[in-house]
Amino acid sequence: MHRIISARLLILIFVLITCEYSLSGLSLLLKGRIDLLYLLVLDYAFFGKWEHVPFFAFATGLLRDCIGGHLFGIETASLTVTGLLAYFAVLKLEREIPWVRIVITSLFVFLTETISLSLGSGLEVGGGLTWALIEGSFWTTVYTTAFSPVFFWLTNHWFHRMVHLKQYELFQA
């Protein structure tokens, strides 16, 4: 049985949460943020055990709900749904190609933000869909996607991942 969580992953989660919430004031200036926990879910999908992605996304959503400012369950629901979609995407697509990872990242962040925004504006008291929320969601998608290659490079070094080269047979019997 494979472990879903390791000590290195727990340390990384703590560092990412600290970075994300300590830089939250900067998001007001930039009208968006780099969502490091979304990138962590995608890193797990691309380089980890892709069959555990929905469970990891659910756990990350619960964590975000416990420390975030939304109504409890919004982040869990949005990350679980997009985690399932990411599971099917990495199952069918070639995730080793960098531009495929960038496209999947932008779609994942956009869909997660859209679901979270829709649920939040419909369920939270005093909520409502405003242009500032839509603009923040757009810029979060742009910033997170732009930062994703750096994030994946850093996590590859943190987890000491090896590049697996495919070998093709030159001759067939």
Average predicted confidence (pLDDT) for the chain: 81
Q: Give the contacts of 61 (CB within 8 A, at least 6 positions apart).
A: 75, 76, 77, 78, 79, 80, 83
Task: Among 79-83, 98-102, 109-113, 166-170, name the one with the lowest average pLDDT.
Answer: 166-170
User: In the chain, what's the furthest Cα-to-Cα distance?
Assistant: 69
Residues 123-147, mean pLDDT to the nearest whole number: 80
Domain boundaries, the chain: 7-158
In whole angstroms, give the CA distance from residue 114 to residue 89. Answer: 18
pLDDT in tens, 14-44: 888 888 877 776 666 678 888 899 999 998 8
Please state, for a pLDDT cut of 70, what percent of the chain lies above it.
82
According to the model, what pLDDT value does residue 31 have? 80
pLDDT per residue over 40-96, tens digit each?
Answer: 999 888 887 778 888 989 999 999 888 876 788 888 999 999 988 888 888 888 877
CATH number of 7-158: 1.10.1760
Question: What contacts 35, CB < 8 A, 6 or more positions away?
Answer: 20, 109, 140, 144
pLDDT score for 168: 56
| Cα 67 from Cα 65, distance rounded (Å) | 6
d(CA 103, CA 72): 29
